[in-house]
Amino acid sequence: METTKAEIELKPAVSAFSAAHDEPAWLRDLRLKMLEQYPKLALPKFDKISYKKWPLTAATKPVVQESAASALADLSLDRANAKNVLVMLGQTVIKAKLDPELAAKGVIFTDIFTAVREHPELVKRYFMTTAVKADANRLTAFHAAFLNGGAFLYVPKNVVIKDAIQSYYIQDSTRDQDFVHHVLVVADENSEVTYSENYATVGDKPNLANVIAEVIGKANSHIHFSAVDQLAQNTTGYVSRQGRLAEDARVDWAVGAMNDGHAIVDFNTDLIGRGSHAEVKVVAVTTGEQLQGINTHVTNIGKHTIGHILQHGVILENSALIFNGVGHIVKGAQGSDAQQESRVLMLSTHARGDANPILLIDENDVTAGHAASVGRVDESQMYYLMSRGIDKKMAERLVIRGFLGNVLTEIPAKEVRQQLTATIERKLENGQKSE
């Protein structure tokens, strides 16, 4: 096959970018290889989510750029004073803090380029090799080629971290620049960690965001992973979170898909080890003209594995929301359990919604179930609330809050719940403005 245009044009820039970060040869080589491959690879397919025309692979030339912290002034990073926190704006680390006691125990929490320089072997072992492979599809390959920010969290064996590890990743759209962000979380045997990440955007240039988080749970580890995605209206986003669990490991995903632009939010968890367990809780709100496609996939591979998906979403204005829930039990995963519930509430007659449950069961000795619905606000509920003097918008918000509350109450961490609730309120207020 002939050399692609992307490769010719961008190869020197990618090499220079890699060199500027003093990257080891393996990473530079991976970048160049993926640069060559990505245009030829297929886009990942997500049922009922049509995004082929989205500008997700129109690369801008990678350049090392500093962003000024002053751009963050408008954002309330209310919890950025926590003990363990990483704040990044574009490629720039604004704040990095790790409790010295944790550092002494061998915990690593740093931006991805520092991690690559200081812990090359550890990063190399897991970076796009285990949870998701770099050449899995066009978007993952693009990601590897143009990576320009991210974080690495490593929790050593038997270390239990009580205080949450918090991160704020702010896309800098005050200029034209792709946001290609990688988060790698490795929880070693018998460890436990709570990690939360927050995505937002400053500036209003139309940019793409390609975010991949990999979570590797070694035997008997427990990862509480929460995320609030609030990419801006002019951002086209691909946000993928990939988990791979060993024996008796567990991951609890709690995610708010609150982006304002077109976005694909993709979860994929492979339950490899016997007895491993994934709980996926998603709330989503769509507004304006946007489409959010949420694709949640759990694969039961080991015996006695448990995969539960619970996702509720609300659609306002002219927007569209698609929930795919895929529970896949492969042959040999005896005694496994795959359950899912996807519900969509439509507030506008112009909105489009879909809740699409898919169960793929290749083993007999298992339990599985699904529930899915797309509906409108219950008029009798609205009448009841309004009969107490509550106005229509507030009544709608209460009904929505109640509807999403069914998922929120299932999220154990109070802080995460509160933050998600606040984000939902913001998005609903915006969404109701036009009504």
Partner 1 sequence: MSKLEVKNLHVAVMDEEDKGQPQQKEILKGVNLTINTGEIHAVMGPNGTGKSTLSQAIMGNPAYKVTEGDVLLDGKSLLKLPVDERARAGLFLAMQYPAEIAGITNVEFMRAAINARRPENDQIPVMDFMKLLDKNLALLDMSDDIVERYLNEGFSGGEKKRNEILQLMMIQPKFAILDEIDSGLDIDALKVVSKGVNALRGPEFGSLIITHYQRLLNYIIPDAVHIMMDGQIVESGGPDLAKKLEAEGYTGLRNDLGLDVKLTDEI
Which residues of this chain interact with partner 1, rule CB under 8 A?
378, 380-381, 383-392, 394-395, 398-399, 401-406, 409
Local structure of 268: helix, strand or coil:
strand
Least CB distance from residue 394 to partner 1, whole Å? 6
Taking CA atoms, 236 is separated from 39, 54, 135, 244, in Å, by 18, 7, 21, 27
The rounded Cα 339 to chain-centroid distance in angstroms is 21
Helix (H), strand (E) counts: the chain: 9, 19
Local structure of 164: helix, strand or coil:
coil
Local structure of 115: helix, strand or coil:
helix
Give the integer Cα–Cα distance in Å for 285 and 289.
Answer: 12
Closer CB to partner 1, 330 or 390, in the complex = 390
Instruction: Dig out the tokens for 50 from the structure.
Output: 């049509």
Closer CB to partner 1, 309 or 395, in the complex = 395
Closer CB to partner 1, 72 or 385, in the complex = 385
Closer CB to partner 1, 160 or 384, in the complex = 384
Closer CB to partner 1, 201 or 419, in the complex = 419
DSSP state of 105: T
Least CB distance from residue 255 to partner 1, whole Å? 19
Local structure of 16: helix, strand or coil:
helix
Closer CB to partner 1, 375 or 402, in the complex = 402
Least CB distance from residue 283 to partner 1, whole Å? 12
Least CB distance from residue 343 to partner 1, whole Å? 11
Closer CB to partner 1, 59 or 346, in the complex = 346
Short-list 239, 216, 269, 227, CA closest to 140: 239
Least CB distance from residue 403 to partner 1, whole Å? 6
Going by DSSP bridges, is the β-strand pair 165-172/84-89 parallel, antiparallel, or unpaired? Answer: parallel
Contact 153, 165 (CB under 8 A): yes
CA angle 61, 229, 50 (to 5 degrees): 70
Least CB distance from residue 46 to partner 1, whole Å? 28
Least CB distance from residue 380 to partner 1, whole Å? 5
